[in-house]
Amino acid sequence: MSNYPLSYKLSWLPRFLKPSLGGDQQGFAPAAAAMMEPPPASTVRLAFVGDISAVANRRAPECDPAIKALLGSADLVIGNCESPVVERPSAAMGTKLGTHHAMTERFLAEALAAVGIAHGKLVLSLANNHVLDQGIGGFDETVAALKRLGIRSSGTAAAGPVERLAVGPLTMGFAAFTLWRNADAAAFAGRVSMQGDPAQWPRGAADGVDLICAVPHWDWEFRHFPRGETRALARRLVEHGVGLIAGHHAHVVQPVEQIGKALVAYGLGDFLGTAFSRQPWPGRIGSILIVDISADPGTRGAVAAYWLHTFMRLRASGHERLVPVEALKSRMRSKVEDRLSAIFL
């Protein structure tokens, strides 16, 4: 059914219980930097959040005002819709156990209100391994629910590998895809984009866009440093004109890398908990990537600066509390800052 290698499956539970800091740690960039000097006079601000799910939440989260203000400063917010949006799960037992994801339209709307994301400023990728957890009918229901809510989606096969979207004065091209699937290939075919090879994109797929932004569901879960294969794919994407990459699937925060003038954020962690409610603390660290894009003549579409803001998803009764790392109590803050210092320069 799924396309995960056996070694990956065998390592899932150990890495969930103890996320790994192993792997190649060379060549990465700081968590924030200016990439244009002097800065452009005019910019468009993008905010990228991680995976969104209701698995660890029976009701909408609480959100620190600083996080809401940060998200509210963006012209566009981009995230990954890790759970099908359905009113009644078809995979009832799997959903109860947490192996099959699902969230209701009401939960999504209330969660977005709680974190201050306006529906009209949001794009959610459907290109992930869980999107068919509630079957083909659940996929169709999800597409319809997002449309009703006024939320734009990306990553469907029908939309093609690169989708154009106007953001202020700029035209963005979004390339959302997943390398992983939990269902068989036939079910994904024609529904979910798995077009991760830019050499296979149709000629002219990104003509007329100021910036191509890839939103891949890639790498292996619960590993803070990306695999060599993932970094090689990032380089291929950049070689084919992608200027910004914000990845998902690892469920832990991963580093950023500058490849020429392009920016790669390998993994943002979860925005709302996708795993079990008693997840170990390293998997509760999330991040929000803020990227300013130049809208000046001559540098249109260039990444001007970026900031990775980290937070914790603290477990409360039936929901999560999103708290900036700097607002944590001293013992937890020290643990989290030590982990982040091992990931970022």
Give yes or no for residue 337 having a pLDDT over 90. yes
Q: Determine contact, residues 129/178, Cβ cutoff 8 Å.
A: yes
Q: Domain map of the chain by residue range?
A: 31-342
Rg (CA), the chain: 19
Q: Tell me the HSE value of 172 on the side-chain side, using a 13 A CA sphere.
A: 27
The arithmetic mean of pLDDT across residues 196-211, rounded, is 93
> Is 281 buried (19+), middle (13-18) or exposed (0-12) by CB count in 10 A?
middle
Please count the CA atoms within 13 angstroms of the CA of 167 that sit on its side-chain side. 33
Strand partners, 122: 77
In this prediction, residue 276 has a pLDDT band, given cuts at 50, 70 and 90, of: confident
Six token digits for residue 227: 């695999």
Q: Looking at the domain 31-342, which fold is it? A: Purple Acid Phosphatase; chain A, domain 2 (3.60.21)
**Mean pLDDT calculated for residue range 194-207:** 92
Can you give the pTM of this predicted structure?
0.97
